[in-house]
Amino acid sequence: MDRRFVIDTGENKEYMKALGMELLEFGKLFPSQSGASYYLGDDGKPWTDRPRETWITCRMAHVYSMAAMAGFPEGRELAAAAIRGLSGELKDKNAGGWYAGITADGQALPDKQCYAHAFVILASSSAVLAGIEGAEELLEEALKVYDEKFWDENEGLAVDTWDTGFTVLDDYRGLNANMHTVEAFLAAADCLSDEKYRQRAGRIIDRVISWAADNKWRIPEHFTKNWEADLDYNKDKPDDPFKPYGATPGHGIEWSRLISQWAMSTALTKERRAHYTDAAVKLYERAVEDAWNADGACGLVYTTDWDGKAVVHDRMHWTLAEAINTSAVLYRITNEKKYAEHYSMFSEYLEDVVHDHVHGSWFHQLDRNNKLLGTVWPGKSDIYHAFQATQIPYLDVDRSIAYSMSRKDVLALGELLIDFTCNGESEQGNMLFEANPGGAPCNVLAMLTRLGKRTGFIGKVGDDQFGRLLRATLDEVGIDSRYLMTDEDVPTTLAFVHKLADGDREFSFYRKPGADMMLGVDDIKESMFNTKIFHFGTLSMTHENVRSATMKAVEIAKKKGCLISLDPNLREPLWADLEEAKTQMLKAISCCDILKISDNEIQFVTGMEDYDQGIQKLRDMYEIPLICLTMGKDGSRGYYKDLRVEVPAVRQSRIVDATGAGDTFCGSVLGYICDNGLDDLTETDLKEMLSQANAAASLVTQKKGAIRSMPDIEDIRKLRTS
pLDDT value of residue 352: 98
Confidence of residue 527 (pLDDT cuts 50, 70, 90): confident
Q: Which amino acid is at 366?
A: L
Give 541-598 pLDDT, tens digit per residue. 999 999 999 999 999 999 999 999 999 999 888 899 999 999 999 999 999 999 999 9
Q: Which helix (H) or strand (E) holds 662?
A: helix 661-676
| Residue 61 pLDDT exceeds 60 | yes
Specify whether 451 is located in the same domain as 357: no
Indicate if 198 and 250 belong to the same structural domain.
Answer: yes
Q: Which of 389, 405, 421 is the last residue of a domain?
A: 405
Closest C-alpha among 98, 95, 121, 273 to residue 182: 121
For 50, the domain range is: 16-405
Give residue 600's pLDDT.
95
Question: Which CATH number covers residue 413?
Answer: 3.40.1190.20
Give the pLDDT score at 339.
98
Q: pLDDT, tens digit, for every residue of 314-340?
A: 999 999 999 999 999 999 999 999 999
Judge whether residue 156 has pLDDT over 90.
Answer: yes
Same domain, 400 and 417: no
The more confident residue out of 706 and 523 is 523
- Residue where one domain finishes, among candidates 405, 434, 449: 405
Query: How many Å is the Cα radius of gyration of the chain?
Result: 28
Q: Mean of the pLDDT values across residues 177-183?
A: 98
* Residue 218 predicted with pLDDT over 90: yes
Based on the fold, state whether residues 416 and 306 are members of the same structural domain: no
Q: What are phi and psi of 608, to 5 degrees?
A: -110, 135
| pLDDT tier for residue 308 given thresholds of 50, 70 and 90 | very high
Let me know: does 61 contact 79? Beta carbons within 8 Å.
yes
In this prediction, residues 26-50 reach a mean pLDDT of 98
Q: Which amino acid is at 419?
A: D
- In a domain, residue 1? The reply is no
Residue 9, in any domain of the structure: no
Residue 704, pLDDT above cutoff 80: no
pLDDT value, residue 505: 63
* Burial class (CB within 10 angstroms; exposed 0-12, middle 13-18, buried 19+) of 485: middle
Q: How far apart are CA 631 and CA 396, in angstroms?
A: 39
For residues 366 and 412, state if they share a domain. no
* One domain for residues 391 and 428: no
Here the CATH number for the domain that contains residue 183 is 1.50.10.10
Nearest to 405 by CA among 49, 5, 72, 112: 72
Helices (H), 577-644: 578-589, 599-606, 611-621
Strand partners, 596: 628
- Contact (Cβ atoms closer than 8 angstroms) between residue 609 and residue 603: yes
d(CA 518, CA 461): 9
Instruction: Give the type of residue at 305.
Output: D
Residue 222 lies in a domain: yes
What's the half-sphere exposure (Cβ side, CA atoms, 13 Å) at 98? 34
Same domain, 307 and 453: no
Q: Per-residue pLDDT for 503 more than 60?
A: no
User: pLDDT for 344-367, tens place per residue?
Assistant: 999 999 999 999 999 999 999 999
The C-alpha atoms of residue 706 and residue 520 are separated, in whole angstroms, by: 27
Residue 43 makes CB contacts below 8 A (sequence gap 6+) with: 359, 360
In DSSP terms, which residues pair with 108 in a beta bridge? 102
Counting Cα atoms < 13 Å in the Cβ hemisphere of 173 gives 18
Mean pLDDT is lowest, of 159-163, 287-291, 415-419, 624-628, for: 415-419
Task: Tell me the mean pLDDT in the region 431-449.
Answer: 92
Give the model's confidence band at 607: pLDDT under 50 very low, under 70 low, under 90 confident, else very high: very high
Q: In angstroms, rounded to a whole number, what is the distance separating the alpha carbons of residues 508 and 591? A: 29
Rounded to the nearest 5 degrees, what angle is found at the Cα of 656, between the Cα atoms of 650 and 661?
50
Q: Distance between alpha carbon 517 and the CA centroid of its chain, in Å?
A: 27
| pLDDT beyond 70 at 19 | yes
Confirm whether 5 is domain-assigned.
no
The answer to the question of residue 11 being in a domain is: no
State how beta strands 408-413 and 455-462 pair: parallel
Active site residues per annotation: 251, 385
User: Does residue 688 fall inside a structural domain?
Assistant: yes
pLDDT in tens, 240-288: 888 999 999 999 999 999 999 999 999 999 999 999 999 999 999 999 9
**Which of 405, 428, 447 lies at the terminal end of a domain, its last residue?**
405
215 and 71 within one domain: yes
Bridge-based pairing of strands 310-316 and 417-425 is unpaired
Mean pLDDT of 1-27: 97
Give the pLDDT score at 71: 83
65-110: pLDDT as tens digits: 999 998 898 999 999 999 999 999 999 999 999 999 999 999 999 9
Number of domains in the chain: 2
Domain shared by 129 and 179, yes or no: yes
**What's this model's pTM, rounded to 2 decimal places?**
0.86
Q: Is residue 481 part of a domain?
A: yes
Contact predicate 36/57, CB 8 Å: yes
pLDDT for the residue numbered 683: 97
pLDDT for 721 equals 87
318 and 439 together in one domain: no
Instruction: Determine what percent of the chain is predicted with pLDDT higher than 90.
Output: 87
In a domain, 341, yes or no: yes
Q: Exposure string (b/e) for 606-626, b if CB count within 10 Å is 16 or more? A: bebeebeebbbbbeeeeebbb
> Do 589 and 461 belong to one domain?
yes
* Across 657-672, average pLDDT: 91
Average pLDDT of every residue of the chain: 95
Q: Nearest CA to 706 among 465, 418, 415, 506?
A: 418
Q: CA separation (Å) from 565 to 144, 518, 539, 644?
A: 37, 22, 14, 19
Is 602 in the same domain as 664? yes
CB 471 within 8 A of CB 462: no
Tens digit of each residue's pLDDT (9 = 90 or more) over 284-306: 999 999 999 999 999 999 999 99
